[in-house]
Every structure is written in C-alpha cells, then in structure tokens.
C-alpha cells in the first residue's frame, strides 16, 4: 500500500516522501535537508533514491546535502547539466525508458516547462499500484492506465489570474509565463477527464500559487469531477 507524506509543496520548496512499505523514495528535494531528515525520522539511509523533475531551486535546493548523505538522485541529462553538481550520486535517466529502484519500476516522461529537460514520473510497485507524479508543466500529452495515486500540480485558475491582473495584484508579464509553464485548474481537470481513473484511490493537488489559487474551490471541483478523495498539499 502506497503511503504519501508531503514535506513541502509550494514555490518556497517541494519534497514528497513515498513508500510502498518496502522502498521509500524522495520526490524532489527543494526544501531544507533537515526538514527531509525530520520527515523520515532521520533515517535518510533508508531512502532508495530521489527523483528530481527539473533544475529550479524549489525542486532541488537540498541536492548537495542529499548526495552527500549517500542518496542517489535521478534526473534528465538536461537537468543534470543545468544544475551542474558533479557528483557520482547524480544519475541521469532517459525519457520513456523505465528503470528499477528497489521494488519500484519508474518510467520518466517529458513534460512542458520553461527549463532544460523536465520530467514527470510514473511509479509502479510490485502490488500493481501506480503513482503518477507531475509538477511544473502546463500540459501532459500522455494518457495512463491503471493509476491508483495521482500527485499533480494545480497551480492557478485562469479566472483568478485574470482578476488579479485586472486589479494589478499580479503583473501582466506573469500570465504569459504561467500559461506556458504551470498546470492550471482547467488543464488539470481536462487531463483527469482524459485518463482512466477507475482504480484511483487518492488525488493530491500540488504546488498551488499563493495568489492565483483557491484551495477549497480546487479541491471541491476536482472531487466533483472525479468522485475521488482529493487532498491539497
């Protein structure tokens, strides 16, 4: 059974601990390393690895500490080049080529963000459970079967963003970047509608904007659409 623990989920820092009861994995390391240590009960040696989606600091700030602790970190070649942390614990993975990490089989897939070579990850365990992890993307072009857990960015809603721009709470320039780099509520709902959710047990909405989101509304709309338990991280 998959267990999910949110360590951080915002522009200030992102990190998530997941385990199938046998192999704990860290998704992102964009928070202080001591927060990661605390979350795992200071048993960082139990971690089989860390998956990093891209090079922005709120997703990899603790990378040097994580590698120093002896934890392998997996990312695309483009992300590794952009981070430029030359360490034997930095491992590059290839888009759409699965690899093993303990009891997990992990499939990286390309996403759409304003960075070098961002990835999302599909994680499958030996019990047939499948966890989708995708953040910092405005679109996911793939469909997935048999998902049991969904961790997906839901950064903003277009109507809230437009209202904030109209009242000058948010600069106009931000809209162009958000539209081409982050997942809106509208696009998240479209993605969920396009996928097989019959086995989904939980949906986590990640990385909400401080200014352009509404936690309760996002949760209610996605629950109404999917009929699944929804958590806002």
* pLDDT beyond 90 at 67: yes
* pLDDT beyond 90 at 189: yes
Q: Tell me if the domain spanning 3-232 has CATH number 3.60.15.10.
A: yes
Is-contact 148 162, C-beta < 8 A? no
Q: pLDDT digit string (tens) for 149-186?
A: 999 999 999 999 989 989 988 888 888 788 878 899 99
Q: In percent, how much of the chain has pLDDT > 90? A: 88
Q: pLDDT digit string (tens) for 4-50?
A: 999 999 889 999 999 999 999 999 999 999 999 999 999 999 999 99
pLDDT of residue 173: 82
In the chain, what are the domain boundaries?
Answer: 3-232
pTM beyond 0.85, yes or no: yes
């Amino acid at each position: 059974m998959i267990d999910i623990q949110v360590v951080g989920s915002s522009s200030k820092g992102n990190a998530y601990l997941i385990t199938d009861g046998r192999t704990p994995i860290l998704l992102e390391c964009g928070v202080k390393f001591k927060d990661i240590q605390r979350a795992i009960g200071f048993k960082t040696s139990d971690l089989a690895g860390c998956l990093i989606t891209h090079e922005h600091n709120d997703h990899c700030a603790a990378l040097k500490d994580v590698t120093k602790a002896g934890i392998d970190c997996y990312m695309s070649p483009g992300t590794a080049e952009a981070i430029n942390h030359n360490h034997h614990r930095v491992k590059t993975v290839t888009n759409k080529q699965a690899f093993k990490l303990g009891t997990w089989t992990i499939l990286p897939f390309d996403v759409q963000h304003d960075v070098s070579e961002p990835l999302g990850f599909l994680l499958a365990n030996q019990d047939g459970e499948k966890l989708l992890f995708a953040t910092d993307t405005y679109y996911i072009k793939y469909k997935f079967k048999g998902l049991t857990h969904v961790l997906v960015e839901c950064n903003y809603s277009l109507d809230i963003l437009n209202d904030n721009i109209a009242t000058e709470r948010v600069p106009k320039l931000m809209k162009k970047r958000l539209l081409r780099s982050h997942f809106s509520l509208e696009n998240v709902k479209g993605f969920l509608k396009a996928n097989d959710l019959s086995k989904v047990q939980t949906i986590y909405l990640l990385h909400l904007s401080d200014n352009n989101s509404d936690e309760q509304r996002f949760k209610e709309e996605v629950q109404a659409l999917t009929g699944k338990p929804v958590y806002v991280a």
